[in-house]
Structure formats: C-alpha cells, structure tokens
Amino acid sequence: MGKLIEIRWHARGGQGAVTAGKLLAETALGAGFYFQAFPDYGAERMGAPIRAYTRLSDSPITLHSPVLEPDVVIVLDPTLLGVVDVTEGLKENGVLLINTTEPPEEIRKRLNLEGKNIRIFTVDASTIAIQELGREITNTPMLGAFCVATGLLDLNKIMEQVRKDFGKKLRPDVVEANVRAIQRAAQEVKQG
Amino acid sequence: MPKGTGWKDIPIGGLILEAGNSAEYKTGGWRAFRPVRDAEKCIHCLFCWIYCPDSSILVQDEKMVGFDLEHCKGCGVCAQVCPTKCITMTPETEFEKEK
Amino acid sequence: MREIMALDGNAAVAHAMRQINPDVVAAYPITPQTSTVQTFSEFVANGLVKTEFITVESEHSAMSACIGAAAAGARVMTATSSAGLAFMWEVLYIAASYRLPIVMLDVNRALSGPINIHCDHSDTMGAREAGWIQIFSENAQESYDNFIQAVRIAEHPDVLLPVMVMHDGFITSHAMERVELLSDEEVQSFVGEYKPAMPTLLDVHNPVTYGPLDFYDYYFEHKRQQVEGMAHAQEVILEVAREYEKLSGRRYGLFEAYRLEDAEVAIVVLSSTAGTTKAVVDKLRAQGKKVGLLKPRVFRPFPAKELADALRHLKAVAVMDRSISFGAMHNAGPLYLEVLSAQRIYGGNMPVVDYIFGLGGRDIVPAQIESVYDDLFRILETGQVERLVTYLGVRE
C-alpha cells in the first residue's frame, strides 16, 4: 500500500455503507493494515443521503479529521448521482466506483469527467443483490467490485471476512448468497 | 480558628467510623421545659418510651424509671401521650434556682 | 490471549470494562456514549462478567447508585456524555468528596443548547472543579489503556478519587480502529482483586457512616484532604503508567510531547485533534519548519510545572480549546487559562495565544491547524500578537 488511502462511501441510510466500511476495515485488520472506519453522523434517517469513510495504511494513522480528498469514492446508490456531488475532492488518478446499470463512459459524460484523470468503474450491484440476496442491499457486492477496482485488498480475504462476520448473525445460505454476490460483482465490474 | 482536630487526623471522606456515636452529641442543653414524673400515678404503660423521639425514657425491668436528661430536648411528647397525666413539663428556670 | 481487534472507541472501553469485570455498573444511555453500555450489557447478559448491571432512570440516579455501591465496597463503573454528565453534577461532587474510586467514561459531547450531539469538551470542562481526576484520550487504543489504568489510579490509597476518562464523541467513539487488547488475565492481574481502602457499608463488624452532616466545624478539613488526594494523584498516575508500559509496551505520561524538543513553535491540544495535529507536524517538519505538539493527557490534576518545563524553550505557543470558559479573561478556553497560569508561575516568556475550535462537532481539518502554525510564525516575525483568542472555523 505504501501510503495512506482514503475512501469515501456515498449511500442512503439503511443501505449498509457503515457495515461495508467496517467490513473493509476488519478485512484490512486481517491483512495487517492500520485503518479507520467512521460514518458522518448527521440525521440518521432511512433513505437520507449519508457518507462514510475508511482510511487504510500500512503505518499507524493519527489523522482524525474528515476525509476531504479521497483516493477512492464508492457510490452504493445510483440515484445519488443527481443529488450529491460524489466527485467532490476526488484526487487525481482516483477511483470512482458506482453501482449503476450505466457503462463507465456514460457516467464520465454525466459527471463532466471527460479528459480528467479519474478511473471510473461501474457494476450493477442492485441487480446482483436482488438476484442473489433477494433484497437491494448493495454493500457486499460493492466490496467485491472494490477489490478489483483498487487492487488494495484480496477478494478471497473479503469473502473470508464476510463468512466470519455474517456467520455470527445470519443463516448459512444467506452468508453464501452474500459471498456469491461479492464474486459476481468482482467479475462483472467494468472499467472505463 | 475553631477548635477541633486537624485535617491530617480525621477520617477522609467525612466518614464516621464508630457506630451509635450520636449518643455523644448531648442535646439536653436544648431543653426549655423538663419532664417531671409523678411516680405514684405512673402505670408503666411505656407509651412515653414508644413516643420519645430522642430515646430519652429510661426503662429498667420493664418499668419506667426516669429521663435521660443529657439527651431529652424537652419536646413534651411524653407528657402529651401519658394516659394518667403523670408527667408535667416544668420550666428549666425552676431548676436553675435549685442550683 | 492478546487480541488485535477492529473496534470503535466505545466498544474498546466496553472491552476494558469486560476485562476489569467490575462488581457494579449503573448507567443510563445517552448519545454518543450509548454503545459503550449497550455493548457491556451484552457481556453481562452473555455471562462474560459477574457484574451487577443496574439500569436506572437517569444519570443522577446512575451516579447515585454508583456511589451507594462504591460505599458498600464494590468496584464500580459507569459511562455518560454531555447532558448526562451535567445531570450528574451534584452527585459528581459527592463521589469525589466521599473519596469513592469510581471510574467513568465521559464521551465528549457539546452541552445544550441549542441541542447538539456532536463533539466538544464543554461537558468535561464544566465538571473540572468537581474533584475528579480527568484523563483525555486521543484514540480508541488510548481510551482502552486509560480506562484500565484509571482503576489503579482511583483505588490507590494515597489518591482515593474518582476518575473520568474521556474520548471524543463520534470522532473516537464511533470510529473503528485497530485496537490491541491485553489478555483478560493480564488485565485482571493488573487491576488486581479489589480491596477497598476505606471501611465499607457492608462490613457489619465495623459499622461506619457515609455522608453525615459536615458543617463549618469539619467540612473545610475534608476539602483540604481532597486536595491531598489530588496532589498525590500525579505521582500515582505516573507510577501506574510505568507499570502499564511494562505490561503493554505502550507509554503514557502526564502529557505527550511530539517533536517538541527542538521546536520553535508548538500547539497544545487535547484528544483526537492532537492526532490530526501530529500529521500536520510531520508535513511541516518535512518542509523544514520547526513545529511541535504537546498533548495533555491528564487535565486534572493539571501538570502545571511539567508542562511549563516542556514548553519553556519555545518562541510561541498556541493552545487549542474545544470549549469556552464564558466570561473568563477574553472568554478564553479552560486549557488556555491553565497553560497561562502554569507559565506565570513556572516561567517561560513566549507569547501564548488561544484558538477556540470544533464546537458542537464543527470539523477541524489539517489546513486549519496549519494556519495556526502559520500564525505562530507570523508572531515570531513581527513580534506582535494580534489576537489572544481566535475562533477557528466560525463563520463571521
């Protein structure tokens, strides 16, 4: 990793961005990284746009301020694109990973990122979630796409962590459905 | 400076380390009227003992024998509740004269 | 077995409580403290601790129950935040004056009003004269470590004062970080079996009275004794820290000096913002600027001499306060006023300025901290202090 990586999550309340950030942090812990995972607590209402942050580093992190210039932005809900400025502060050569049916080229146009050095990845995590989980909870498939888009964490490690974490609370078939969703998203994610 | 023990020599936290030491606090000096009993009329019903708020009725062998004047505040409850009216609240000034 | 876990600050302290396994916890939920006692109550329900967990109807009752249990001879803990701490006000003083070694987490949150659930230090700072030892933590790891040490500090026979451990609301309480836990056995043997140093209410062979009337004849002497406990606390805090370092490898003092020795200018700031400041110090140091940081850990008892000694060589100092002492000199913050008094008595002639920041959870970002260092260098250049108190990040 070599340096501090800052990630910003965009979602709506109830979509699991906080859980995904924590899952990522726990996977990072298993991989020997230092990390922080923290939500932006405002009005915690189901459906309201929320942000959450994850920091990853191979050395201790002392920063405790909000992430202003993320290296990676992950958007869990496509309907947020018209509501919040998801590219705000996104670094040069940064990664933008969006749950959408649209291809990366369309997103680049829509967000006026043409000619900008931003790597865009898209995946239809909603469809994957509905097909595999029966509910539109996109946090786990997005983690699969995250591994491919950033190369920061190993896909198998994420799946291991999901089995370990979710295994405590959920039925085995639900846990495996989450693992399948991660795998599918990793395969179906498109770069443009 | 008021009299008393210095801060190094008293229990910390305001603790009182002995039980039942309220007896050391003599409240008899608060009294303006002293209960005086007519032993002839006393039937030893011990109503006074039950009602006394300062545990100042002295009892021996289930008989009322007198008052603890070091603690009796002279409230007069004993005189009030006495069914034979054998207790009279008498001004302390009368006893001053005796001295 | 020692474990490295991904925990937020509140969960880290809940784990410390689990490992300490106190006799009694009485607590009332309040944001952002809630998850601490919620997590701990799960440990109770799952039989991981032998603690009697008392759910009460208010913080006033929580602290009152803690006082009763501690006077009865139990090792007692609680946690609160903001308005909860304020509601404990009266009983905070009673805990301290009865010399009961209660340990409490205060998750720093602004006091109302207008109502606000986010971080600042106005809750703890308001309680700074209540007679409690106050220890601030930068992150989840420190909060865990401080909480365990607090037990030994509070219960030390030369101290016998309650201890309040703080971490920043949401910023630390709800941020998940890497936390190294000691093993349960290590924590157990570090805190040891609780043997109350004072006679207790449940010792029927040695009956005692707690809380009698104490007028002009002895009240003053009892307050003088509290001063003595507080005066001993500093050495005990260091002694406990040395022992804890041997066990954990993590070093704690009265404060942490970061790249301070050869610094020209420095910031003094508490808690999580000190962490952010470290990153700024590293950045400016890489540019050749001689900047440093002093992060007080122990606010009560305030380590005035040690702090003045550590700052003496500097050419200018900025204190950053996450609360206001309304009506104090220049309406400055409490940390600033303490640093100034320390400097007045123990020496140091450099200008010291104050920055009020982060009230009600207002973000504090590296660029703002950098601007404070810029201001300090400007003071060096011009020899002029423009403002004693600056509001960092308020809209004009």
| CATH level 2 (architecture), domain A5-191 | 3-Layer(aba) Sandwich (3.40)
Q: Could you tell me the pTM of the whole model?
A: 0.91
What residues of chain C lie within 8 A of the CB of B17, using their CB? 199, 206, 208
For residue B91, the cross-strand partners are: B33
Please name the residue of chain B whose CA is at the shortest distance from the CA of residue C157.
B12
Task: Name the residue among C208, C224, C229 with its Cβ closest to that of B15.
Answer: C208
pLDDT of C74 reads: 98
The boundaries of every CATH 3.40.50.970 domain in chain C are 3-248
By residue range, what is the domain housing residue B52? Answer: 41-99
What residues of chain C lie within 8 A of the CB of A62, using their CB? 138-139, 275-276, 278-279
Residue B21 lies inside a defined structural domain of this protein: no
With a cut of 90, say whether residue B91 has pLDDT above it: yes
Query: Could you state, in order of their start, the residue ranges of all structural domains in chain A?
Result: 5-191
What residues of chain B lie within 8 A of the CB of C217, using their CB? 2, 4
Mean of pLDDT values over C208-218? 92
pLDDT of A69 reads: 95
Q: Does B25 touch chain C (CB under 8 A)?
A: no
Confidence of residue A48 (pLDDT cuts 50, 70, 90): confident
Q: Is C254 helix (H, G, I), strand (E, B) or coil?
A: coil
Confidence of residue A49 (pLDDT cuts 50, 70, 90): confident
Dihedral sign, Cα of residue C190, residue C191, residue C193, residue C197: positive
CA distance B9 to chain C (A): 10
Condensed to tens digits (0 to 9), the pLDDT of residues A152-188 reads 989 998 899 889 888 888 999 999 999 999 999 999 9
Give percent of chain C above pLDDT 90: 98
DSSP at C182: P
What's the rounded Cα separation, in Å, for the pair A104 and A90? 16
What's the rounded Cα separation, in Å, for the pair B97 and B92? 9
Mean of pLDDT values over B44-66? 97
Distance in angstroms between the alpha carbons of the first and the last residue of chain C: 54
Q: Best of A23, A24, A53, A62 to disrupt the C interface by mutation (most C CBs within 10 Å)?
A: A62
With a cut of 90, say whether residue A17 has pLDDT above it: no
The CA-CA-CA angle for residues C208, C213, C218, to 5°, reads 90
Please name the residue of chain B whose CA is at the shortest distance from the CA of residue C205.
B19
Which contacts of A127-133 are long-range, i.e. CB under 8 A and separated by 24 or more positions? Answer: A127/A101, A128/A181, A128/A184, A128/A185, A128/A188, A129/A181, A132/A177, A132/A178, A132/A180, A132/A181, A132/A184, A133/A174, A133/A177, A133/A178, A133/A181
Q: Are C101 and C161 in contact (CB under 8 A)?
A: yes
The CATH number covering residue B74 comes to 3.30.70.20
Q: In what order do the strands lie in the sheet with C316-321?
A: C255-258, C291-296, C265-269, C316-321, C352-357, C389-392
Of C380, C383, C370, C353, residue with least CA distance to C287:
C370
pLDDT of C127 reads: 98
| CB atoms A64 and C275 under 8 Å | yes
pLDDT of A43 reads: 56
Which segments within A76-167 are labelled E, that is strand? 94-99, 118-123
Average pLDDT for chain A = 90
What residues of chain C lie within 8 A of the CB of A41, using their CB? 32, 117-118, 170, 174
CA distance C364 to chain B (A): 42
What's the rounded Cα separation, in Å, for the pair C166 and A131? 46
Q: Best of C93, C102, C200, C218 to disrupt the B interface by mutation (most B CBs within 10 Å)?
A: C218
Mean of pLDDT values over B56-73? 96
> How many domains does chain B fold into?
1
pLDDT of C10 reads: 98
Task: Name the residue among B6, B16, B18 with its Cβ closest to that of C221.
Answer: B6
Radius of gyration of chain B (CA): 17
The boundaries of every CATH 3.40.50.920 domain in chain C are 255-392
pLDDT of A1 reads: 43
Please name the residue of chain C whose CA is at the shortest distance from the CA of residue B11.
C222
Q: Are C5 and C179 in contact (CB under 8 A)?
A: yes
Average pLDDT for chain C = 97
Task: Name the residue among C118, C176, C276 with its Cβ closest to that of A63.
Answer: C276
Token digits of residue C62: 């929580």
Condensed to tens digits (0 to 9), the pLDDT of residues C111-121 reads 998 999 999 99
What's the rounded Cα separation, in Å, for the pair C350 and C342? 13
Q: Does B60 touch chain C (CB under 8 A)?
A: no
Residue B94 lies inside a defined structural domain of this protein: yes
| CB atoms B12 and C225 under 8 Å | yes
CB hemisphere CA count around C206 (13 angstroms): 9
DSSP at C366: H
With a cut of 70, say whether residue C250 has pLDDT above it: yes
Phi first, then psi, for residue C204 (nearest 5°) are: -70, -15
Give percent of chain A above pLDDT 70: 96
* CATH hierarchy code of domain C3-248: 3.40.50.970
List the chains bordering chain C where 3 or more Cβ pairs fall under 8 Å: A, B
Candidates 3.40.50.150, 3.40.50.920, 2.40.50.220, 2.60.40.740; CATH matching C255-392: 3.40.50.920
With a cut of 60, say whether residue A2 has pLDDT above it: no
For residue B33, the cross-strand partners are: B91
pLDDT of A82 reads: 82
